[in-house]
Amino acid sequence: ENGYDLWLRYKVTDNAVLLQQYRQQITGINCTCSDGKLLAAQQELQQGLTGLLGKNVPLQKLVTNGTVMLGTPAQLPFIKKSVGENTLTGLGDEGYLIRSIRHEGKNIILITGNKEAGILYGAFHFLRLLQMQQPIAQLNISSTPAIKLRLLNHWDNLNRTVERGYAGGSIWDWQRLPGYRDQRYYDYARANASIGINGTVLTNVNANAMILTEPWLQKVAALAAIFRQYNIKVYLTARFSAPVEIGNLKTADPLNEEVRKWWKDKADEIYSIIPDFGGFLVKANSEGQPGPQNYQRTHADGANMLADAVAPHNGIVMWRAFVYSNESPEDRFKQAYNEFKPLDGQFRKNVLVQVKNGPIDFQPREPFHPLFGAMPQTPLMMEYQLTQEYMGFATHLVYEAPLFTEVLNADTHTKPNGSTVAQIIDGTADGHSLSGMAGVSNIGSDINWTGHPFGQANWYTLGRLAWNPALTPAQIANEWIRQTFTNKKAFVDTVQQMMLASREIMVNYMTPLGLHHIMGYGHHYGPAPWYNKAPRADWNPVYFHRADSTGIGFNRTASGSNALAQYQPAVRRQYENIATCPEELLLWFHHVPWDHKMKSGKTLWEEMCEKYYRGVDSVRWMQRSWSRLKNYIDEERFKQIEQLLGIQEQEAVWWRNACLLYFQTFSGKPIPAKYEKPDRTLEYYMELNFPYAPH
């Protein structure tokens, strides 16, 4: 197996008793459909069930015992009576119901929803039950998504390179589109639909205006036509200066009438080509991208102009809050909040502000972004990064669900009765009906889509969490492992343990105790805590760790940058007191003396050594665990992962040695003798020229 089938492998059920039962319980598929999402659902069920049952599962006109019946209440009037109107109303437009019922004197399985989209999601849920070898005798399942926009953000360029992509080139074959419709597009759509993802931004946030020209829009339309059947809308990134670059205007000032008209006309044109186009994602006035501030206008002015252009077509604008200015002397941590909070209430109804999970940039661990909860009048959308820019690329096994849920479960304390980050972004805290969660895609042209086979789990997680943010990392991992590899208990248990531990393991060997942004410059691979030559101070590791002979860490309390003032008092108080600040965030907020006593009784320096060494040891533990699983799965994927774990081990040692040897020049203390000695010098690591890492 090469991993191409992801979690949709549909291998014949390898438990003989269960297989026998499934064959009796499922005899055929009844669906009155000829196109669209219902047809996609029917095709998937037929393919999936035929595989899982190891026999042809026919389409039937008649109803027999074991028929799986698909349809909306409008198509099948008996459903309203059988299910009840209230239950149906509760399902909304994307929810579904899977029930074992009696119909025309037969025992059937009904998959229904108000809209065809719900049935499509229900079909995938049903297949998941079988893939996970669950009982299906008495089904009564209903499910609706908690979050409305569940999106992938591709950072794909039009020349098919992928910014921060580590799994090959872009899967969008622009040159052969629109005429050539690669099977990959269908499989991509199936995979996304199976986990509830309902939108995809095709292009990089560092945008190219060309995508908005007619020939390119025709290519986008071809993708949209495939994705539509799977309830996936396409979105594009809008380059703010497009009116100048492709519209021949002199300005892109968002308050200029000509500019506003240009965008309106452009939106009309897009919707004439792609009637269900989702809208725009915009990175403006950030890292050199053009934006409204070039014309002394605000982010709200810019977002609203685009929002007005797409509003007549029910389009939306996702405006990113990832901004920090070259000129500003402020702690980079504080800048997005400073710029965006004052704009709360000024955005149009169809604008979401898209916020990264933490205040800096997708680090192995960040505190939650202080904007969450701070803009009650604006729907805030979550942006996670699936591609492992700061987490060992597609080389390290890092399951990100613990990172994602850690942020979702954080309490912003902005409301007396419930204001976790999850409640902010699902809209319930502030009563927003528009809500969203996005993941920066880790998908590329590699045969297994994500480079590292375990990268697939992060893609899977994004969809499942956006559907239901209350799912736990263990539940999601369990689902994914069973579908992707096998249901055999020893395998599932071992791999689940590895996955659940993997994020903390990475934190330990890369950036323990709240260290952040100490990686190699530019490509962001490997350690370079010594680096201080970047053109901006806040691109330098030394800016972030601030190690000196007295201690290490970034003082963000009132005696330092005071970034903590951006949190609610309850959060601020906890973090600003070195005694109550969680140790995993310590160096995010405090400059801590080397001999500071940690909860373990060790000094900070000893504790840091302990974490780095434990990180490496744990990678070795993952290697040992994996080596015991050889007989459970195919050789191809077993070997891939074995090799990747080998590289991960070497690189964990690299991180550990380089960081400890460097920080030791400030702490002036020895690495305790009980640990294996670094086998290289600091000079070796500092001179190590990383041969090649994709940007």
Can you give the binding site for ligand BDP, defined by CB under 6 A?
A: 163-164, 205-206, 283, 287, 322, 361-362, 389
Spatial separation of the C-alpha atoms in residues 279 and 4, rounded to whole Å: 30
Residue number, 521 or 632, with CB nearest to ligand BDP:
521
Residue number, 95 or 529, with CB nearest to ligand BDP:
529
What b/e sequence results for 225-242 when a residue is b if at least 16 CB atoms lie within 10 Å of its CB, and e otherwise?
A: ebbbbbbbbbbbbbbbbb
Residue number, 247 or 370, with CB nearest to ligand BDP:
370
Which residues, listed in sequence order, are joined to residue 356 by a DSSP beta bridge? Answer: 383
User: Which of 173, 187, 245, 361 is an active site residue?
Assistant: 361
DSSP string, 580-628: TS-GGGHHHH--EETTPBPTTSSBHHHHHHHHHHHHHHHHHHHHHHHHT
- The long-range contacts involving 219-222, CB below 8 angstroms and separated by at least 24 positions, are 219/172, 219/174, 219/177, 219/178, 220/273, 220/274, 221/178, 221/273, 221/274, 222/177, 222/178, 222/179, 222/181
Residue number, 187 or 361, with CB nearest to ligand BDP:
361
389 is catalytic: yes
Shortest Cβ 206–ligand BDP spacing (Å)? 5
Residue number, 206 or 562, with CB nearest to ligand BDP:
206
> Would you tell me the crossing angle of helices 473-484 and 116-131 to the nearest 10 degrees?
70
Shortest Cβ 164–ligand BDP spacing (Å)? 5
Shortest Cβ 354–ligand BDP spacing (Å)? 10
Among 695, 660, 694, CA closest to 677? 660
Cα 344 from chain centroid (whole Å): 25
Shortest Cβ 365–ligand BDP spacing (Å)? 15
For residue 629 the two structure tokens come to 């699983």
Shortest Cβ 432–ligand BDP spacing (Å)? 23
Residue number, 339 or 610, with CB nearest to ligand BDP:
339
For residue 382 the two structure tokens come to 């979550």
The CA–CA distances, whole Å, from 12 to 23, 49, 67, 281, 694 equal 11, 9, 19, 42, 39
DSSP string, 126-156: HHHHHHTT---TT-EEEE--S-SEEEEE--B
φ and ψ at 600, to 5 degrees? -75, -10
Query: E strand or H helix at 382, and its extent?
Result: strand 380-385
Shortest Cβ 385–ligand BDP spacing (Å)? 7
Spatial separation of the C-alpha atoms in residues 243 and 266, rounded to whole Å: 9
CA angle (365 as vertex; 363, 370 as ends), nearest 5: 90
Residue number, 161 or 251, with CB nearest to ligand BDP:
161
Residue 545 near residue 587, CB atoms below 8 Å: yes
Spatial separation of the C-alpha atoms in residues 426 and 673, rounded to whole Å: 50
Residue 333 near residue 564, CB atoms below 8 Å: no
Shortest Cβ 395–ligand BDP spacing (Å)? 17
Residue number, 107 or 206, with CB nearest to ligand BDP:
206
Which residue type sits at 192? N
Shortest Cβ 529–ligand BDP spacing (Å)? 18
Spatial separation of the C-alpha atoms in residues 665 and 487, rounded to whole Å: 50
Residue number, 237 or 298, with CB nearest to ligand BDP:
237
35 is catalytic: no
User: Which of 287, 493, 548, 676 is an active site residue?
Assistant: 287
Helices (H) and strands (E) in the chain, counts: 22, 15
CA angle (241 as vertex; 237, 243 as ends), nearest 5: 100
Position of minimal CB gap to ligand BDP: 361
Residue number, 205 or 659, with CB nearest to ligand BDP:
205
Spatial separation of the C-alpha atoms in residues 220 and 151, rounded to whole Å: 17
Shortest Cβ 516–ligand BDP spacing (Å)? 12
Residue number, 118 or 526, with CB nearest to ligand BDP:
526
Spatial separation of the C-alpha atoms in residues 150 and 230, rounded to whole Å: 13
The CA–CA distances, whole Å, from 267 to 19, 220, 239, 339 equal 52, 14, 13, 28
Shortest Cβ 648–ligand BDP spacing (Å)? 21
Spatial separation of the C-alpha atoms in residues 373 and 59, rounded to whole Å: 50
Query: E strand or H helix at 351, and its extent?
Result: strand 351-356
User: Which of 44, 94, 301, 389 is an active site residue?
Assistant: 389
Residue number, 28 or 529, with CB nearest to ligand BDP:
529
Residue 540 near residue 534, CB atoms below 8 Å: yes
Residue number, 679 or 692, with CB nearest to ligand BDP:
692
Shortest Cβ 300–ligand BDP spacing (Å)? 19
Which residues, listed in sequence order, are joined to residue 67 by a DSSP beta bridge? Answer: 28
φ and ψ at 223, to 5 degrees? -65, -40
Residue 149 near residue 381, CB atoms below 8 Å: yes
- How many C-beta atoms lie closer than 10 Å to residue 531's C-beta? 18
At a CB cut-off of 8 Å and minimum separation 6, what does 127 contact? 8, 10, 44, 45, 48, 49, 52, 194
Shortest Cβ 168–ligand BDP spacing (Å)? 17
361 is catalytic: yes
End-to-end CA distance of the chain: 29
Q: Which residues are catalytic?
A: 287, 361, 389
